[in-house]
Amino acid sequence: MNFIYDLHRTMMAQKLILVYEGDFTQETTKSILSMAERNLDSSGEDSGIKRKVFNVMVEALQNIVKHSSEQGLQAGSLISKSAIFLISKDDTRYCVMTGNPILKDKVAMLTENLNDLNSKDKEGLKEMYKDIIKNTQISEKGGAGLGFVDMARKSGEKLEFTFATMDGTHDFFCLKVNISREKE
């Protein structure tokens, strides 16, 4: 049972203020957002910063919910829909982090899209956002690809990401979005 203390120490060292691991549904998302909102409200944080953090959380959680639906029975084996959502806070920033399984065949395109997004400056992100809205590129999952663009715009930072191998058909997609606590 020492893992409980080890987990607690890790969470303290990483300055984690909220962690959820499990299946993500719309109901789960509402609960997580409600807890995070209470935490942000009680922190006395600037309202503009709270709004940015909340917006990034909403987009990150929607991304998990939308894309976890593709998990399930794959090639005869059950792949867990389990994902993870974390928020940390230090003196200079909030970090919203997520991790979820994705099919390996989606990694190259996602990497290309995120690298393209990260290559844009503030004006480039604004144009990318307008182009997506104008062209209404709605996917079969109901998204237009605005989530990542919106997270990058709200955070003003590059999106950090990596992929960890899970098995022969899935990787675990890890995303980190930093939001400065400095007022603009």
Q: What is the pLDDT of residue 41?
A: 86
| Residue range 20-40: mean pLDDT, rounded | 90
pLDDT band with cut points at 50, 70 and 90 for residue 84: very high
Structure tokens at 102: 């994705």
- pLDDT class for 183, splitting at 50, 70, 90? confident
Dump pLDDT digits (tens) for 116-170.
999 999 999 999 988 888 876 555 544 557 899 999 999 999 999 999 999 899 9
Distance (Å, rounded) from C-alpha 121 to C-alpha 153? Answer: 9
Angle between helices 122-135 and 146-155 (to 10 degrees): 150
Q: Which two tokens stand for residue 148?
A: 């990542």
- Decide if 72 contacts 82 (C-beta within 8 A): no
Determine the average pLDDT of the residues in 8-32: 92
Question: Residues 6 or more apart from 155 whose CB is under 8 A from it?
Answer: 52, 56, 177, 178, 179, 180
> Looking up tokens 């996602």, which residue turns up?
110
> What are 168-182's pLDDT values in tens digits?
999 999 999 999 998
Per-residue pLDDT, 125: 94
pLDDT digits (tens, 9 = 90+) for 36-83: 989 888 888 899 999 999 999 999 999 888 876 555 544 444 456 689
Alpha-carbon distance of 82 to 65, in angstroms, equals 10
Q: Would the CA dihedral through 101, 102, 108, 113 be positive or negative?
A: negative
H or E stretch at 144:
none
* Helices and strands, number each (H, E), in the chain: 6, 7
Neighbour tally for 68: CB within 10 Å: 19
> Pick from 86, 97, 65: which is nearest to 161 by CA?
97
- The backbone torsions φ and ψ at residue 175, rounded to the nearest 5 degrees and listed phi first, read -125, 140
What whole-number distance in Å separates Cα of residue 125 and Cα of residue 122? Answer: 5
2-180: CATH topology is Heat Shock Protein 90 (3.30.565)
Considering the entire predicted model, what is its pTM?
0.88
Give the closest residue to 97 by CA, choosing from 33, 163, 8, 159.
Answer: 159
